[in-house]
């Protein structure tokens, strides 16, 4: 049985290698046979949008049916891995920057550059450098479908009670030395059992009734948390995409992380790491125990559906070197084991087209990668009564984003850095110790 | 569950031929065949293959590359591996002594004082729940923000605890969860062992004026030994294999405090695609468990019964 599978995979791989040289041939075959493509995605919120895309696609290509399968994040990746091993993966699947380098090194996703050249797809139509994130050494592994940025989300009632206005987020600042007006705002929004806020000398940090902030630090990329702050000092994970040296021994990141950890450990303004780790910040926020959280644009709909009190979105605090967040984007990749590579490419090409991205934008779930479709999304959000301009502003602001630190050995990096960040957040080790040590471990991987 | 070996074959060869002629040996093999096939197909072959894979570097998608004992050399120097071993041992030490003592107490109470098997079946209830369900339940029960345990703590004026979220409390919490699930089942096995102890020994003890405590020490415990060995070996081996509770509640965190050996092996194999390395780690774990079991058998003289 094992032998069979190997043989099978090898033939498929051979077919995959041959495919780019004969796209026209394959396409003519595609026009005749009825084909069902399995398409995988992890975000349940986006399912209706992509079902709409699939319907439009099948209408234009009656011989290709799209079968969408959705699994939650953790199961999704396990399923893809076992699918690759057993020869039963999705033909096309939503891919993530933290995951795709490993699939490339294992030879599991198709280089679509020949298809792109053949069909003349314009890769500059996507926002910023999104398309570059998916190419390496002249090969390309996906067409951008959306992007995400981060903003602050506030509980309106708590803000009003504290005597603050949403305008505060337009100009709040942060620095690793004293936390700037960010720390003051968070303090002002923290209340102890006696109703004293964090700025009061009588504030009892051991009996907090309402936290000013719920932010988890125990995460390897800190996309919606520590990276917003650490990178606003000018620090970067590494010097370039596909770099081989991380900079967690840099004073700026060490100070930033320690300052954020102390916001919880020393001040008592941030919800305890244990709590946000078990519940997610959005749950803590929706339970009404924290006034502010930072979260990504992919959460907008979840917020709209699950938050029962008035809330709003605001800009990120400005750090010593400006206001910045991670610019992350998803793309669709084709599995090398797919028996329908040509049809898969047609589907990927469609999802990367203005037509599909306008459909997705119109459903107001995420910001599509094509700017005009992102504007459509903004308008659709507005129609739902959600003012989400901070997300778009962050994406369009000059130097407002840094790219996801794409690199090899991502799973080892994740395991090591998660443990190091947890240790600092829980007060088990100071950042000055844990981070340089972890840095050495991860740089040894290359 | 008779573990005593009493028969001594004096004329083995003639007897074997005699039985073979009578077809009994053949019948015996036929009866064992289904189990044997299962053993070879689902255990023997995979185990042998696992041993081979441990000598290779393999990511499942490309051909395995034979590298000899390189994986073992690396493992011996791998701090993460040893950390996982210690964490696992820590868990076993938290789990087994308390679980066994509690099970003994429950078993004695049920054996000496409770009549009727209806009550006994209550003991099995936690064990009937799937591990994952138990772990999920306790994840919520012990939650620092919403859990009922902390609600109770706060109601009586105690500080709320992080339990699974804290580096120090995570492992004891997991041990507690599994003790809750397994203690009834363990007790039931011990009760079965106690039922084999002749009642007249207790009557005689009572006549001589021995207390319950003394009878437990001088009658129950020594005569329970073969069952005790079985219970200890299976529960210690099972305890070393802790995985699902951790997968559901902590994923090896926080700060690797609950990254037990099986979780480490899982991560190496299925998250990092180092199947050769993960197999080598499994083989080391296998060797350790064999040694632990042999030592236990030896120390507890499992093949002798004071009853026979």
B164, B270, B273 member nearest A278 (Cβ):
B164
User: What pLDDT sits at residue B303?
Assistant: 63
Average pLDDT over residues A43-51: 91
pLDDT band at B116 (very low <50, low <70, confident <90, very high): confident
For A291, list phi and psi in degrees, rounded to 5. -85, -30
Q: What pLDDT score does B16 carry? A: 65
Cross-chain residue pair A289–B60, CB shorter than 8 Å: no
Structure token digits, residue A325? 């967040």
Question: Mind telling me how many Å the CA of A426 is from chain B's nearest CA?
Answer: 8
Is the confidence at residue A30, as pLDDT, over 60?
no
Assess if residue B159 is contained within a domain: yes
Question: Quick one: pLDDT at residue B158?
Answer: 87
pLDDT of A7 > 50? The answer is: no
Whether the link from the prior residue into B254 is cis, omega within 30° of 0, is yes
Q: Which of A106, A278, A426 sits opposite B59 (nearest CB)?
A: A106
Q: What is the pLDDT of residues A280-304, one digit of tens each?
A: 899 899 999 999 999 999 899 889 9
Phi, psi of A293 (to 5 degrees): -140, 160
State both tokens at B208: 């001589």
Which residues, 6+ apart, have CB-to-CB distance to B212 below 8 Å?
Answer: B112
* A177 burial via Cβ count (<10 Å: 0-12, 13-18, 19+): exposed
Domain residues for the domain of B154 are 78-299
- Residue B22 domain-assigned? no
Query: Is residue B241 assigned to a domain?
Result: yes
| B37 assigned to some structural domain | no
pLDDT at A17: 43
- 3-state secondary structure labels for all residues of A274-321: HHHHHHCHHHHHHCCCEEEEEEEHHHHHHHHHHCCCCEEEECCCEECC
pLDDT of residue A8: 41
**Region at A222 (left for phi over 0; alpha for psi -120 to 50; beta for the rest):** left
β-bridge mates for residue A312, sequence order: A154
Specify burial of residue A179 (Cβ count, 10 A radius: 0-12, 13-18, 19+).
Answer: buried
d(CA A225, CA A325): 9
Q: What is the dihedral of CA A184, A189, A191, A196, to 10 degrees?
A: 60
**Gap between the Cα atoms of B305 and B297, Å rounded:** 13
User: Per the CB < 8 Å rule, is B144 touching A81?
Assistant: no
B11 pLDDT band (50/70/90 cuts)?
A: low
pLDDT, tens only, A149-203: 999 999 999 999 999 999 999 999 999 999 999 999 999 999 999 999 999 999 9
pLDDT for res A4: 38
**Residue B307 forms part of a structural domain:** no
Q: Is A428 on the interface with B (CB under 8 A)?
A: yes
Token output for A51 = 């079902």
Confidence of residue A24 (pLDDT cuts 50, 70, 90): very low
pLDDT for the residue numbered A320: 96
Smallest Cβ–Cβ distance between B61 and the set A106, A287, A426 belongs to A106
pLDDT of A5 strictly over 60: no
Of A103, A40, A92, A70, residue with least CA distance to A411: A103
Contact A426 B270 (CB under 8 A): no
Please compute the mean of the pLDDT values over residues B219-226 and round it to a whole number. Answer: 88
Tell me the two tokens of residue A38: 């399995």
For residue B272, tell me if it sits in a domain.
yes
Angle at A43 between CA A41 and CA A49, to 5 degrees: 80
Q: Which of the pair, B271 or B52, is modelled with greater confidence? A: B52
ipTM for the predicted complex comes to 0.72
Check: CB of residue A294 under 8 Å from CB of residue A224: yes
A274 to chain B: nearest residue by CA? B165
Q: Nearest CA to B142 among B114, B102, B103, B169? A: B169
Inform me whether the pLDDT recorded for A25 exceeds 80: no
What per-residue confidence (pLDDT) applies to B9?
Answer: 47
| Domain tally, chain B | 1
Cβ-nearest to B165 among A274, A412, A415: A274
Domain boundaries, chain A: 2-147+328-383, 150-327+392-443
| Largest separation between any pair of C-alpha atoms in chain A | 77
Give the mean model confidence (pLDDT) for residues B243-248.
Answer: 93
**In this predicted structure, what is the pLDDT of residue B8?**
47
Q: What is the mean pLDDT of residues A69-85?
A: 90
Work out the average pLDDT over A230-259: 95
How, if at all, do strands A311-314 and A150-155 pair?
antiparallel
Q: With bands split at pLDDT 50, 70 and 90, how would you rate the model's confidence at B307?
A: low
Count Cβ atoms below 10 Å from residue B246 Cβ, excluding itself. 25
Q: What is the pLDDT of residue A22?
A: 42
Q: What's the pLDDT band for B190 if we cut at 50, 70, 90?
A: very high
- Nearest chain B Cα distance for residue A46, angstroms: 26
Query: Mean pLDDT throughout A312-337?
Result: 95
Please report, for the domain that includes residue B142, its CATH number. 1.10.3720.10
User: Is residue B42 assigned to a domain?
Assistant: no
For B247, name the nearest residue in chain A, comparing CA atoms only.
A74
Q: Using the predicted structure, report yes or no on whether residue B306 has a pLDDT greater than 90.
A: no
- Mark yes or no for CB contact A218/B254 under 8 Å: yes
Structural domain includes residue B286: yes
Question: So what CATH class is A150-327+392-443?
Answer: alpha beta
Q: Write down the pLDDT at residue B117.
A: 74
> For residue A209, which phi and psi values (nearest 5 degrees)?
-95, -35
pLDDT at A16: 43
Domains A2-147+328-383 and A150-327+392-443 share a fold: yes
**What mean pLDDT comes out for the span B65-79?**
92
Give every strand in the sheet of A290-296, ordered side by side: A191-192, A208-213, A290-296, A150-155, A311-314
- More confident of the two residues B282 and A2: B282
Name the class of domain A2-147+328-383: alpha beta
CA distance A411 to B198: 59
Q: How far apart are CA A378 and CA A367, in angstroms?
A: 8
Choose among B59, B255, B273: nearest Cβ to A426: B255
Q: What stretches of chain B adopt beta strand conformation (E)?
A: 56-57, 65-66
Nearest CA to CA, how far is B304 from chain A (Å)?
46
In A190-234, DSSP assigns E strands to: 191-192, 208-213
**Cβ separation of A274 and B167 shorter than 8 Å?**
no
Quick check: A411 pLDDT over 80?
A: yes
Give the rounded percent of residues in chain A with a pLDDT score beyond 90.
74
């Amino acid at each position: 049985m094992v032998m069979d599978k190997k043989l099978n995979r090898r033939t498929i791989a051979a077919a995959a290698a041959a495919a780019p040289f004969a796209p026209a041939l394959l396409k003519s075959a595609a026009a005749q046979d009825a084909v069902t493509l399995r398409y995988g995605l992890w975000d349940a919120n986006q399912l209706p949008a992509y079902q709409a895309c699939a319907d439009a696609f099948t209408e234009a290509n009656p011989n290709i049916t799209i079968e969408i399968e959705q699994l939650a994040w953790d199961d999704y990746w396990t399923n893809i891995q076992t699918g690759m091993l057993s020869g039963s993966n999705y033909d096309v699947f939503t891919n993530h920057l933290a995951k795709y380098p490993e699939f490339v090194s294992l030879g599991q996703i198709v280089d679509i550059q020949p298809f792109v050249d053949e069909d003349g797809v314009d890769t500059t139509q996507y926002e910023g450098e999104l398309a570059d994130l998916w190419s390496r050494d002249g090969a390309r592994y996906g067409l951008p479908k959306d992007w995400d940025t981060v903003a602050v989300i506030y509980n309106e009632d708590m803000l009003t009670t504290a005597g603050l206005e949403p305008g505060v987020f337009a100009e709040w600042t942060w620095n690793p030395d004293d936390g700037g007006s960010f720390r003051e705002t968070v303090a002002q929004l923290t209340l102890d059992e006696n109703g004293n806020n964090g700025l009061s000398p009588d504030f009892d940090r051991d009996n907090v009734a309402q936290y000013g902030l719920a932010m988890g630090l125990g995460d390897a990329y800190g996309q919606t948390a520590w990276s917003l702050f650490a990178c606003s000092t000018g620090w970067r994970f590494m010097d370039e995409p596909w770099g081989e040296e991380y900079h967690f021994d840099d004073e700026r990141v060490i100070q930033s992380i320690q300052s954020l950890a102390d916001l919880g450990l020393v001040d008592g303004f941030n919800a305890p790491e244990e709590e946000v780790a078990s519940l997610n910040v959005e749950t803590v926020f929706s339970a009404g125990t924290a006034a502010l959280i930072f979260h990504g644009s992919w959460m907008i709909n979840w917020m709209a559906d699950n938050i029962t009190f008035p809330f709003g979105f605001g800009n990120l605090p400005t750090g010593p070197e400006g206001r910045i967040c991670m610019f992350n984007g998803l793309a669709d990749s084709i599995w090398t084991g797919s028996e329908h590579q040509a049809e898969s490419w047609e589907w990927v090409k469609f999802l990367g087209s203005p037509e599909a991205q306008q459909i997705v934008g119109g459903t107001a779930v995420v910001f599509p990668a094509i700017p005009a479709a992102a504007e459509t999304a903004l308008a659709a959000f507005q129609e739902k009564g959600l003012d989400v301009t901070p997300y778009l502003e962050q994406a369009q602001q000059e130097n407002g984003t840094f790219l996801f630190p794409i690199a090899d050995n991502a799973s080892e990096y994740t395991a090591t850095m998660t443990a190091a960040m947890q240790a600092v957040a829980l007060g088990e080790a100071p950042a000055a110790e844990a981070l340089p040590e972890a840095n050495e471990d991860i740089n040894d991987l290359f | 569950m008779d573990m005593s070996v009493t028969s001594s074959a004096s004329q083995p060869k003639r007897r074997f031929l005699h039985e073979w002629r009578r077809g009994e040996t053949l019948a015996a093999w036929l009866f064992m065949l289904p189990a044997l096939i299962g053993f070879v197909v689902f255990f023997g072959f995979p185990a042998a293959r696992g041993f081979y894979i441990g000598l290779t570097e393999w990511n499942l998608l490309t051909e395995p590359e034979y590298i000899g004992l390189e994986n073992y050399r690396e493992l011996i120097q791998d701090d993460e591996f040893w950390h996982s071993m210690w964490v696992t041992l820590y868990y076993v030490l938290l789990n087994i002594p308390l679980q066994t003592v509690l099970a003994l107490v429950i078993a004695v109470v049920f054996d000496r004082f409770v009549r009727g098997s209806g009550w006994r079946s209550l003991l099995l209830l936690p064990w009937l729940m799937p591990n994952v369900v138990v772990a999920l339940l306790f994840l919520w029960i012990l939650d620092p923000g919403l859990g009922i345990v902390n609600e109770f703590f706060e109601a009586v004026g105690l500080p709320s605890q992080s339990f699974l979220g804290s580096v120090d409390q995570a492992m004891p919490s997991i041990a507690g969860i599994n003790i809750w699930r397994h203690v009834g089942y363990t007790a039931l096995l011990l009760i079965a062992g106690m039922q084999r102890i002749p009642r007249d020994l207790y009557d005689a003890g009572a006549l001589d004026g021995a207390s319950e405590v003394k009878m437990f020490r001088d009658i129950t415990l020594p005569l329970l030994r073969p069952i005790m060995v079985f219970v200890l070996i299976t529960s210690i081996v099972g305890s070393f294999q802790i995985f699902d509770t951790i997968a559901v509640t902590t994923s090896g965190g926080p700060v690797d405090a609950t990254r037990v050996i099986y979780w480490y092996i899982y991560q190496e194999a299925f998250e990092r695609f180092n199947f050769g390395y993960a197999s080598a780690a499994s083989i080391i774990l296998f060797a350790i468990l064999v040694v632990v079991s042999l030592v236990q058998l030896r120390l507890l003289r499992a093949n002798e019964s004071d009853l026979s």
